[in-house]
Amino acid sequence: MDNFDNSNFSSNANLEQPIPFDEDLDQPIPFDDDETSDSSVSHSPLSLGGGGTAQAPKIETPKIEVPKPALKKVVEKVVSTNRITGVKTFFTKLHPGALDFLDEQITKWLKDNPGLTIRRTNTVTGMIQAKKTEPNIIITVWY
């Protein structure tokens, strides 16, 4: 265990008591700018020589004219009447009864929607997974 030097303290000194001040505690604490202060710190502005206040040199920048963008002609947008607005997909198994049923489905859909104009169709065969994975014909109609 380290022994600290306690030679500064007398054995009968009360360590619980605060250190007494020699000054009157009821007097206000003086500010540094008080004329009666014995402070050796100067609060006057620091002079670096050169006389007056320093000013940054004025730099004249040449005026550059920014060219204005050329006005674009107002072009009226042309709305195409041949736009595709929807798609419908039909599919069925590849046997004669199913193909007849597919024809009936497509015909009924076209009769129920007389305002549609068919823009594009696509027919492909592929495997469709249901209870079993079987080849099907897939017809996609864009209108």
Q: Considering the domain boundaries, does residue 121 fall inside one?
A: yes
- The verdict on pTM exceeding 0.85 is no
11: phi > 0 → left, psi -120 to 50 → alpha, else beta; which?
Answer: alpha
CA dist 79 and 73 (Å) reads 18
Split into its structural domains, the chain has a count of 1
**Predicted pLDDT of residue 22:** 66
Q: Considering the domain boundaries, does residue 54 fall inside one?
A: no
CA dist 117 and 140 (Å) reads 14
Q: Considering the domain boundaries, does residue 111 fall inside one?
A: yes
Decide if 106 contacts 139 (C-beta within 8 A): yes
**Predicted pLDDT of residue 141:** 95
Domain holding 91, by residue range, is 87-142
Q: Considering the domain boundaries, does residue 48 fall inside one?
A: no
Q: What is the pLDDT tens value at each position of the chain, 143 positions in all? A: 555 555 555 555 667 777 666 666 677 776 655 455 555 767 777 777 666 666 666 777 777 787 777 777 777 777 667 788 899 999 999 999 999 999 999 999 999 999 888 999 999 999 988 889 999 999 999 98
Backbone angles phi, psi at 133, to 5 degrees: -90, 115
**Predicted pLDDT of residue 23:** 62
CA dist 68 and 77 (Å) reads 25
Q: Considering the domain boundaries, does residue 37 fall inside one?
A: no
Q: Considering the domain boundaries, does residue 93 fall inside one?
A: yes
